[in-house]
Amino acid sequence: MPVFLFSASSLQDYVTCKRRFQLRYGLGWAWPSPETDRLAEQEEHLWLGRELHRLIHQHLLGIPVERLSPMVQHPILERWWHAYLAFVPRLRPLRVLPEVTLSTPLAGQRLIARFDALAVADQPDTSGVRVIILDWKTYRHRPSREWLAARLQSHVYPVVFLRAGSALMASGGPSDVELWYWFAEHPLNLERLPYSEAAYRADVAYLENLIAEIAQRLATKSSIDIAEEVWPLTEDERECRYCPYRALCRRSVVATSAEYMPDDAALHDEAPYELGWEPEGLQMAETLF
């Protein structure tokens, strides 16, 4: 059996709708249904999100603002860019490492996280934080703290960092880590999610069980079987509004462009089930799930 490379996005798909995971990752099917009712607006929003991530990455690598700002030609992107420039001085005392990819073995498979940025302090600040996991969000609407805390990203990212990137901290543990969600449309309304030893133990146990469940389900089915069997669909049809497989599942509800909240994987050029790069240190062939 191959070693699969799981991510927060793929695990979120499985938790949200097992059928979606089966179609996207188990079978690798691309389905043409647009994720919103206004495809051009959706594509523009994704492009703007990718451009903002690119600009921030280049800025954190040391390219001066004076060289980057003339490249910003879209009014929405300009607003987001200036919001970021007003925020980034908060990180000045820290070592900021942009676009870091780490992976760790878990439940006989591998779990991967692609961090927008990691901000590392040589000494903890007054709250005791040594590492800030930064994630740039371009949602039109600012989600609630409860929604963000429940997302798999909020559990996967700290676990992967602590298991694969803890060498970035001279010392410390889970309580020295915070996850910060920064919202381009709501730049003053940052969400900070502290972490703890208890949360780390609970997250590792949960993710191990979840990954083992998925791997077992995939391992016991041949490619023919998995195509014939229909995995359970979500009972919450509101989740179908953004799903490109909704027509296949005969659920025609569709989100408006104003409701659209792109998955993080959509902001990167790779499709979520393709591995176009290999993290340093991985020696075996792996499949991205």
Strand runs (DSSP E) across the chain, as ranges? 3-6, 95-106, 109-120, 131-137, 177-183, 186-194, 286-288
DSSP summary character for residue 240: G
The full set of domains in the chain, from first to last, is 3-288 (3.90.320.10)
Mean pLDDT of the region 73-92:
96
What letter represents residue 209's amino acid?
N
Mean per-residue pLDDT over the chain, rounded: 84
Mean pLDDT of the region 32-40:
56
**Percent of the chain beyond pLDDT 90?**
60
Q: Rounded to 5 degrees, what angle do the CA atoms 41, 44, 49 make?
A: 125
d(CA 96, CA 92): 8
| pLDDT(284) > 50 | no
Per-residue pLDDT, 289: 47
Mean pLDDT of the region 7-36:
85
The reported pTM is 0.84
pLDDT digits 0-9 by tens, 120-178 = 987 665 566 889 999 999 998 999 999 999 999 999 999 999 999 988 876 789 999 99
